[in-house]
Every structure is written in C-alpha cells, then in structure tokens.
Amino acid sequence: MGRMRSLLIPGVDKKLLVKDATKALPELSRRRFIASGASLGALTLLTGCNVSDGFSAEEMLRQISKFNDGVQAWMFNPDVLAPTFPESAITKPFPFNAYYELDEAPEIDGKTWKLEVRGLVDNKKPWTLEQLYQLPQVKQVTRHICVEGWSAIGSWTGTPLRDFLKLVGADTRARYVWFQCADKDGYNSPLDMATALHPQTQMTFKFGDEILPRAYGFPMKIRVPTKLGFKNPKYVISMEVTNDYKGGYWEDQGYNSFSGS
Ligand SMILES: Nc1nc2c(c(=O)[nH]1)N[C@H]1C(S)=C(S)[C@@H](COP(=O)(O)O)O[C@H]1N2
Ligand SMILES: [Mo]
C-alpha cells in the first residue's frame, strides 16, 4: 500500500461513493456497515464489482439498491462464510503487494525458520515448517481485496487457524491473535479472536498447488477472506495470543482495525 494508487475509479470520489452507497443500504446493514468502518473494500466484496477493471460507480450503486438485509448479513457476521469461487475464476497473474518492491521482500530459509507461539497458550514450543506441513490442510478459492483499489481471486491452501489454536491450547477467550512478520522495517497485525476462529481463517502454506512463493509470503501467511488485504500478514514469524491491543503496521496509520471485507 506504500505506492498509493489514489484514484480507484477515474473521476469518482471514493468518500462520496461510500457515502452514497451507505444511504442506499437497508437500515440494519447500514448500521453494521458504519460500525465496521464503512470501507470501499466491503462494498466491493458485497457487490462483486471488481474495482481493478473498469466498473462504474453507477453499477456499484445499482447492485446495492437491489440488496435487502438478509443477503448481505454475512459480511458483518463472524459465523458466515465469505464467497468461494471455482478455480477457473483465479486471477492470473495474481498481484504482489507490499510497502516495498518484490526484490526487497523477505527471503526466508524454510529449513531454519520457526514459528514462535507466544502469550496465552499452554504450549509455547516453536514450530518448524516441516512440523506445520504435517497438519491437515484445506484449499479455498476466495477474493482478496486491497483498500488501494484492486481485488483478485486466489487459491490458498493451509491449516485452519482455529485448529492450530486448539492444538497449542490457546485461551480463545483472549481478545486478539497478534502476528509479527519478517519484513525489514517490520510488519504486524492484530486479528480479533472471533475472526481468528472463523472457519475460513487459514495458516497458508500454498498458493495454487505450489509451495507459497516468496511474493505471497513464504513460508506462511495468514489468509483472512473476511478481512481486507492488509489484515492478511505474509512472512509470519510469530503469533501471540493476547488481551492487549498491540497495533499494526496499517492500523497505526489510521486504517480501521476491524476492516471487514
Ligand atoms: N508482511 C507483510 N504482509 C502483508 C503486507 C506487507 O507489506 N508485509 N501487505 C499487505 C497488503 S496491504 C496486501 S493487499 C496483501 C498483498 O498480498 P499479495 O502480495 O499476496 O497479493 O498483503 C498484506 N500483508
Ligand atoms: Mo492491501
């Protein structure tokens, strides 16, 4: 997000669009949408309008006016699933994004890397990649939405985070799981416990059918299809179960920490 692509839709003011869309939402959804931080990302996922390839603001508003509270409740409800797609819908090539260029992305040695587990957990033993690869994995094809104004469908395979939290004896009454990454200037992000326990929130080891490439976060990223892209940390080196709000790279710069997509 460092290289701000400022205009999402040529000639359209993002704030005004979100405002118009908010007005068009039915009552219950409107309240939830505002409470969640009223993001364009949420509207993008809701309408299926892909902000990266020429959609019109009118089209987005037209889609919203067709909604009722029932069909969109999933967006704000931690029990409801984000939409999944067929493999044929996968965006190729899938975009790389970080606050730096790809050649500056962390280069992690999978043989020496260990995932540190900290905080309110029974078992704080670090995990090697080999050990993590032994855990049961599932594949899901979902849409990733970046607040910078693009979205893309990708295929991610890994272990549901909730299964891992159970395995290490995490106190799931705690408020957050906080992730730290290997980026040279640091990157971190807190995830609320309800989202950490969401069935689609995943410790991801593969993109498509390949070992997660460096661009997308080798050796492990946290894939959260119900949140915006910046709440999907790549190059993860530690997770901490905590009641303290420790902030995050983009959260500290004013992005809403809830940031539902
Ligand atoms: N460690 C780390 N994780 C990160 C970022 C980053 O700069 N560093 N950028 C975030 C943002 S803003 C986006 S949109 C996605 C991009 O993921 P991708 O490169 O797989 O498309 O990663 C997120 N996770
Ligand atoms: Mo992003």
1: pLDDT strictly greater than 70: no
Q: How confident is the model at residue 59 (pLDDT cuts 50, 70, 90)?
A: confident
Place of tokens 């699933």: 81
Q: Is there an atom of ligand 1 within 6 Å of 178 CB? A: no
Backbone angles phi, psi at 18, to 5 degrees: -65, -40
Distance 36 CA to ligand 1 centre (A): 21
Which of 242, 235, 248, 246 lies closest to 189 in space, CA to CA?
248
Q: What is the pTM of this model?
A: 0.82
Q: Is there an atom of ligand 1 within 6 Å of 251 CB? A: no
Looking at this protein, which amino acid is placed at residue 178? W
Which of 21, 39, 61, 16 lies closest to 148 in space, CA to CA?
39
pLDDT digits (tens, 9 = 90+) for 185-242: 999 999 999 899 999 999 999 999 999 999 999 999 999 998 888 899 999 999 999 9
Asked whether 174 and 242 are in contact (CB, 8 A), the reply is yes
